[in-house]
Chain A
Amino acid sequence: MSDIFKLVMKRLGLGLVTLLVVSILIFFAVELLPGDIAQAVLGQGATEETVATLRERMGLNDPAIVRYLDWLGGAVRGDFGVSLISGGSVGDAITQRFLNTLFLATYAAVIAVPFAIVLGVLVALMRDTLFDRAANILTLTSISSPEFFLGYVLILYLSVKTGWFPAISSLSAGMSFGELLERTFLPALTLVLVVTAHMMRMTRAAIINLLASPYIEMARLKGMPPWKVIVKHALPNAWAPIINVVALNLAYLITGVVLVEVVFVYPGIGQLLVDAVAKRDFPIVQACCLIFAATFILLNLAADVGSILTNPRLRHPK
């Protein structure tokens, strides 16, 4: 077991280092801003005095490395500083919205993951049939469409024309869970469509790749019926690729969620990020970027660790 433990630890360590480097990147990117940040935020019309006050408030007079360590230390505790526009705590502004985004992503994932994997395996088994070709064209169309296109199409047909679901996901405090699911159905469905397509294609490729192995042919030549070949011989080796597919697509959800939130005016962290970018509210931008990047890195890490743990060669060392 020590080999596998070492590998996992090494991978975790690497993930941590990546996270650190990314945090440096995010923090110091703002330092690259041509000219003075306070000046840039306030615009050309600002007086010397107000600029100086803002510099003071942002702590711009400290050296950058001190400010970075302060910022990172705060970020670990959930304190991302103060918004330049509203003056409120960034952490407070983010928390609820982050939970909302997580809810939306989970909603989509719970539907998409089992659906996509089952379909992906089916398509792989029925490869080169009419069904497979149709699925190929459909999934290709789906991943080729911008998320906002799918979103608006769904709004047009499932909301405006039929009135089945609300077009805008306004959330309020006292909603029941059922109501919540209904209100957020369209954004979730949009994400499901995109992610399912990606996942199906990747699962199909992984399974087909596996079915070409000599040990699968050996199982067939041992007279095993097709279902047994799949369940006993292909599946135990398919976990690593499937885990990878799932994690990669959950990571993909993170990017997709920004556009979808804007289309459906969903009060999530993506919407917040886009607003902050437009207003150049850097503390919020940095905080959101760090959260997105961290989730992304963690998911990829989970995929790697998952494939290490399910690899029979590593699980049973010599």
Chain B
Amino acid sequence: MSVFVIGYYTILIAASCLAVYFERRRVFMLLFSLTLVSFVAGIIGGVGALRTITTLAAVLSLAAGVSYAFKEFLVQIARPGLARELRTAPLTAAFGMFVIFTYAIAGIFAPWIAPHGQAEVISTSFAPPDANMLLGADQLGRDIFSRIIYGARNTVGLALAATILAFVMGAFAGLLAAVKGGWFDQFMGRFADVIMSVPSLIFALLMLSIFGTNLFVIVVVVAVIYSPRVFRLTRAVAGNVVVMDYIEAAKLRGEGDWYLIRREILPNSTAPLVAEFGLEFCFVFLLIAGLSFLGLGIQPPTADWGSMVRENATLISFGDVTPLIPAAAIALLTVAVNFVVDWMLFRSSGLKG
């Protein structure tokens, strides 16, 4: 029994007792079940397992702390209406916003943050981390840390461009279909069905094999694949608005389609569309990451998270986690966006019901 183990259980049990004393039932249940789990984990995994649990708990509480502080920060700087809504946001959403904010900073200021250039060979291949290279070198001797920073700009930028294009095409078609109705609506609906009946990754592979893999092709292909989803959602959202009497009133007044879309439908569709933009970004981002992992995305030497995983995958068989960092970066951003979207969806559904 080391000091660590004794301290570990003492703190847990003391905290549980305090929770009971202050009648915080939930906190107590959480702490005490953690204690019980620790007994089992400690017996099976030894001190190592307990240390892992401690690390995890520390990371979790750090994340929670950062989110809490960031939320307060946002509440302070936002205008009153927004601030009130932010105050009710769950910690997960605040965490998501914080992560998105960090990525945005990293992406925008990449050349100033990264210590080296993304294509700059500064060392031998797979050189271990040192004072100069935070995470060591990749298979060609480039600084992995710098490439991850640049990846924020390249990978996220590409996904953002594709999402925006998909959104513009899909949303525009969806709004038009909702207003026009009739054969245009029918035709667009069928067309969307056909594109959506091919799995997205497979469709992307087919298109890229034909048109090659330059950035422009990737953006267009991905946008074409995802615009039917946006189309469907926009059509559904706008469809709920179009049946309203105020649209009928505007039509009977003799207003044109463009006025209907701009002044009557769009203001009532923004909340679900913004949430959908977040979701769509996640899908696009994962697809593009998958494509570059397969070597069909952004081409070297430009830094890109998906291909970095592939290039350095051999390190994993030596038990090195470095190649997982860009993959984790992808996962973290997607989780963050999803957290925020979750909150927005909850909010918009809560307002309705």
Contacts and interface: CB of A to CB of B under 8 A. Distances in A.
Interface stretch (A50-58, A62-70, A288-296): A288-296
Interface stretch (B114-122, B156-164, B203-211): B203-211
A46 to B, nearest CB: 18
Size bracket, chain A contacts: 35 or more
Contact of B290 (A143, A147, A276): A147
A34 B335 CA distance: 39
A285 B197 contact: no
A144 B334 contact: yes
Contacts of A22: 194, 197-198
B293 interface: yes
Given A152-B309, A160-B316, A282-B209, A289 B202 contact: yes
Interface residues of B, number: 49
Contacts of B30: 130
Given A18-B194, A282-B209, A289-B206, A255 B335 contact: no
Contacts of B209: 276-277, 280, 282, 285
Interface in A229-267: 251, 254-255, 258-259, 262
Given A277-B209, A282-B209, A293-B197, A145 B334 contact: yes
Of A130, A152, A280, most buried by chain B (CB within 10 Å of CB) is A152
Interface string A135-166: 01100110111111100110110001100000
23 contacts: A130-B26, A137-B92, A140-B342, A141-B331, A147-B290, A148-B293, A148-B306, A149-B309, A149-B330, A152-B316, A156-B324, A160-B319, A167-B317, A251-B199, A255-B199, A259-B294, A277-B296, A278-B295, A280-B209, A288-B202, A289-B203, A293-B199, A293-B202
Interface of B: 26, 29-30, 92, 193-194, 197-203, 205-211, 282, 286, 289-290, 293-296, 306, 309-310, 313, 316-319, 321, 323-324, 327-328, 330-331, 334-335, 337-339, 342
7 pairs of A and B residues whose beta carbons are closest in the complex: A144-B334, A149-B327, A145-B331, A277-B209, A144-B335, A255-B199, A292-B202
Given A149-B330, A152-B327, A259-B201, 7 more contacts: A141-B335, A144-B286, A144-B334, A148-B293, A149-B309, A149-B327, A156-B324
